[in-house]
Structure 1
Amino acid sequence: MDQDFTKYEALGNDYLVIDPSAAWASPTADTVRMVTDRRRGVGADGLLFGPLADLGPDDGPPLTPDGGGGVFGLRIFNSDGTPCARSGNGIRVFARYLMDHGYAGADDFTIRTDAGPTAVRVLDRASGLIRLALGPMSSSSRDVGATGHDRPMLRETLRVDGENIEITCLSDGNPHCVVVRENVTPELAHALGPRIAGHPAFPGRVNVEFVQVRDHATVRAEIWERGAGYTLASGSGACAAARAAQLLGLTGEKVTVEMPGGSLEVETARSGEVSVTGTAAQVATGRWAPDFRARLTGRRP
């Protein structure tokens, strides 16, 4: 490999991809925070480490770009260094990386994360239009990681600083809390997002989507991610927003989710399987400067 990292974006949600074949070592929380820092590092909402042969204690040998692979392991990290089990935009970015670098020759393949397998279908290679089948989303409080007895978390009341807020929570391996309002703004997400994300009801923290229903097929969402803060777009967040609106009887099976970074198409099959369609694009490739590499590895050049 002639690069240390590749940067991609999906609707303004940006990720650094580090290929194990070019890496100095597996990422740690500290090194993830260093490279994703927007002032002292390259800057990104998260880091993608792959493709991996396996996701066990030993990730296996680095894969080679022979275009013949069908299953690719991926580890996802938030910019605060915490692991992320699944990211819709992150997986779509990684699918584009696999296409661009000769790993995925076919238009159908699978990306495996800590949340399980995600089926990928490339709809248009030139534009990077990709559909992900994320599976069913669970409303179980156990899957969301909420306190209390196990129950479906639909139209629950969460008390935040003296205010009662109606919430609907879902998980696709990544936990989400959806708040439907008549009007949603970035200011609302900045004000309420961190307070809900870190609420005692969610010991492991939760991603928060503020959703405004425009019509039966369109919603607007502002998103606060538990590991990255305010973000312009989120693939799994868009799925949670669309699925929650559908479960609440506000939309149909096909929903366009509008976010500050752009729109995604979310569809829920009768079986409950959720899929999301959108694009991803490469921004840059690069090498670590010698001094920065020394900071990452703890070894002077």
Structure 2
Amino acid sequence: MKKKKILMISAGILILLALGTAAVMAVISSRNDRLLAGYLDLGNKYLVENDYEQAIVEFEKAIAIDPKQPAAYEGMARAWFSLGDTQRAVGIIEEGIEQTGARELKELLAQMEEEAALQSAAAAEETQEVRTVEGTGAEGVGAEGGEAESPEEEVPPLFPEELDFGEAVSQVITGPDYGIGIVSDRKAVIVLKDPALISSYLTNRADSDKDVLEHEWAVFFGNEGSRFNISITTWAYAPGEEEQMSAAAMQSNLWVEEGGGNWGNILDITPVIHENWIRWTVVIPDGYEFSFMDITESHSEIYHIGME
């Protein structure tokens, strides 16, 4: 009798524990559902407001709670696509399909791949309509004045397909050795092709004057209202303390023309350096009234002191 009573008490305890666990799990599930809904709502709100970076953050939070939620993958992919990164958008969709098998994600993947193909075709068709501006022989930042030498023969602009922008661009401006791939009004990918890079360059030369420009790879762009250049440069800060320096170790900056021949450094931008090209992703900071769509002049400059 006593043993039977003990067994009944034990069974009762197990039932209570099971009920308690179920209640706790229900509370956790309910809380997660609320969080998930909140993250999805915020992500969609930011999408509508074109705040794509913040939308991505919210959709990532949603996926962390429920990796089987197709809407989160769809929202994040649309955000990346709107930012011009079609490759990442497709990767997100493919991950979502692997996790959920959702038909709507498969349909979205097909739409994005078709849109990417159309963008590539449109860029190719615009090749003959690319706006180009011949170099004016303007001086590089800090370079000493002097008359520009006339080129022996005119070099035609590059074709857009010759340039690796690394992401989808809507319009391309090219010159003989550079291209400006416009992603949006405020963002562009700028490529300087065949910069003739070597492993290192002599800096702080003994025959340099202090603060003189020694090496430069630059692309200038702008219009009547604003002029910018993106460049890798090195200057003779300590003439005589000679050292070898690679292009990757030099400073890389976005400059704005301030008038009177002066340029101001407004942003450090780390380039991607390849043996056959240099690529910068440039986003114009707030406070500057400029749109890449309004570029009316552009040219490139490569300068090495003593090699004029």
TM-score of the superposed pair, with normalisation by structure 1: 0.28
Q: Which has the higher contact order (CA 8 A, sep 6+)?
A: 1
Return the structure number with greater strand share: 1
Q: TM-score, normalised by structure 2?
A: 0.27
Higher normalized helix content (fraction of residues):
2
Larger Rg: 2
